Amino acid sequence: MQVITQVNELRETMQALRCSGKSIGFVPTMGALHEGHLQLLRASAKDNEITVCSIFVNPTQFNNPDDYKLYPRTLDADVELLQTTGCDYVFAPTPEAIYPQHTMLQFSFGKLETVMEGEFRPGHFSGVATIVGKLFNMVQPHKAYFGQKDLQQVAIVRQLILGLGFNIELVCYPTVREADGLAMSSRNKRLNADQRKIAVSLHEALELARKQLAHTPLPTIKEAVAEYLRDKPEVELEYFEIADPLTLQPLETIADVQEVALCIAAQVGPVRLIDNLVVNLSEV
């Protein structure tokens, strides 16, 4: 496995591989790797002849400077973990390598970025699209792998691929969870022991909503979720939505709908966490 830090070296290496006919899979990450990332990397290694993982904490997608500053950075441990996944190349650039000058580029995704994460983190998805577009251009993969935990991000990347005509197949894998149901996230590393125990309440709230879908009006489900989390110590609910899983637009009714996305975000102590469930209504 080779670690690359320079953009030119990455471009030259990837161009040579593509010219030789190699299939390339790509897993973009911000590091602090966990089993969710490793699942994506193993899938890429199985599907492709070459697998590339990027590790880059992207400053343009953070609304809160403290959140960017405190985001866990564990490059040495990440590289060691990647040795077991079939990863061939790690791209670990500096911010200066990715953004040699201040970027003025802005993306707009219409209604898709006005709800949920877009509403609470204005400008976030423009930053996501900027870095993903840059990385797609540098790596030029055949397939790119993302996790369902960041469901709205997946929808944004799908639109980015379609809108800019990238010849890339988007592959989305289910959320990987801890034994108690907490969605694996790099941010979990910032939780203390008590906060870690209470963080599972987000998944519990989603399960509560899922069980009520077949027989309860949507506004009542939303109130039940809010009520469930209201008395949890150090948990502050930002949003809970019942939405279309592709457009992420909130649903007023689930009549004639096959699938719904239950999406949640909350502060747990100092850490902002998100989670979701995509539910097939024929199974509830």
Alpha helices in 140-180 (DSSP H): 151-164
Sheet holding 235-243, edge to edge: 235-243, 259-268, 271-280
Tell me: is residue 31 an annotated ligand-binding position.
yes
Tell me: is residue 153 an annotated ligand-binding position.
yes
Catalytic-residue membership of 37: yes
Tell me: is residue 34 an annotated ligand-binding position.
yes
Report the distance separating Cα 256 and Cα 29, nearest Å.
Answer: 37
Report the distance separating Cα 280 and Cα 284, nearest Å.
Answer: 7
Nearest to 237 by CA among 262, 209, 273: 273
Tokens standing for residue 271: 């850490």
Tell me: is residue 70 an annotated ligand-binding position.
no
Report the distance separating Cα 113 and Cα 162, nearest Å.
Answer: 16
Tokens standing for residue 246: 């592709």
Tell me: is residue 116 an annotated ligand-binding position.
no
Tell me: is residue 187 an annotated ligand-binding position.
yes
Q: Strand ranges (DSSP E) for the chain?
A: 2-4, 24-29, 50-55, 89-91, 143-147, 169-173, 235-243, 259-268, 271-280
Tell me: is residue 277 an annotated ligand-binding position.
no
Tell me: is residue 1 an annotated ligand-binding position.
no
Tell me: is residue 222 an annotated ligand-binding position.
no
Report the distance separating Cα 221 and Cα 258, nearest Å.
Answer: 18
Tell me: is residue 6 an annotated ligand-binding position.
no
Tell me: is residue 25 an annotated ligand-binding position.
no
Tell me: is residue 43 an annotated ligand-binding position.
no
Tell me: is residue 176 an annotated ligand-binding position.
yes
Nearest to 89 by CA among 209, 5, 174: 5
Q: How far is CA 9 from CA 2, 55, 146, 198, 237, in A?
A: 11, 16, 24, 45, 44
Tell me: is residue 73 an annotated ligand-binding position.
no
Tell me: is residue 186 an annotated ligand-binding position.
yes
Tokens 């990450």 correspond to: 29
Q: Which amino acid is at 173?
A: Y
Cβ(49)–Cβ(89) under 8 Å?
no
Binding-site members for ATP are: 30-37, 147-150, 176, 184-187
Q: Show which residues are catalytic.
A: 37
Binding-site members are: 30-37, 61, 147-150, 153, 176, 184-187
Binding-site members for (R)-pantoate are: 61, 153
